[in-house]
Chain A
């Protein structure tokens, strides 16, 4: 993917310290942008959906878009699907809702896979960014695509971070043979150009969002592992570790309480860079057609 995908670790460190040094206007601006993206991702169905936010259907008030928003939250959503604490609206508002009855639609009243009558429309008041080659509203797809991107970026990097931190910490702390084996393993995974390995594994793990997340997570952890290893090796001989040993602390205690907190900083910075790379990777994968980003995710959702 991007050249950034194997960023030299020292650059990561240098940048992180220089950014943390001055909490400038730029940092605040970056925070606002990031929060906006997350906001759009979480609340996508309230911004663009083929169902209204509030409507009056057969005498009662329903909140289809709100319900769909909640349903798509990972753990809570599946819990609600099972327990059904309230009635789920099952009607299709486009077909069954009386056009004159009370309904508040999202600002973009189209779903990401909803086919409009005309394809390739240029932007108009109804379709702000026009429609694509199959007659789907581009802005709606953009909003729901954000959701996929954020999900891929966050989850795959959480996975990569977990693997990287464990491998790096074990390699750095125990040293010797253990370090040698872990380092060779890191080297082996690094040897495969990311996109090659991902495409090869994708051919078997199968398509779908989970597959993409797993594959990116399992291939992108190497630089995190190397960073954590370097930090742990440096801290291993420090005085405070010696002090902890002298009062009889166990290996796990020293590793978790004394060494990892220091190593976590660089790891988190590498992970944030990794989020960007993961999103670009995902976009590249869907562009190549290994999997179909928005469409598939929502076809699956509709089937469920």
Chain B
């Protein structure tokens, strides 16, 4: 069982529990667990339409999910709630997120249109790739 816990403020933001639950299920897969154990990054997720913010603090095999902003994030993702869940539907091919199918192209389009904003995309590319692989349901 992956070491995932809810930190201060998480109880007040249902999104925190949802993502924690999803990750727990995902991390039962060994290949995702390996990425989880290597990932060290603070990720802010903002579901803009739901006015919900959480911070996921990954610390090499441990994750604490906080409600709201908790410290300076390395990566900040802001989008609407449906797109946020669609990110979990990105396929992983050859060990990398796959952007060349319908779901992947949809994500790219939203990035280009500004409907999906990711800060730290280039400065923390490795961490973002690991995060995407961990979050992906494929």
Same complex origin of A and B: no
Which of A's residues lie within 8 Å of B, judged by CB?
Answer: none
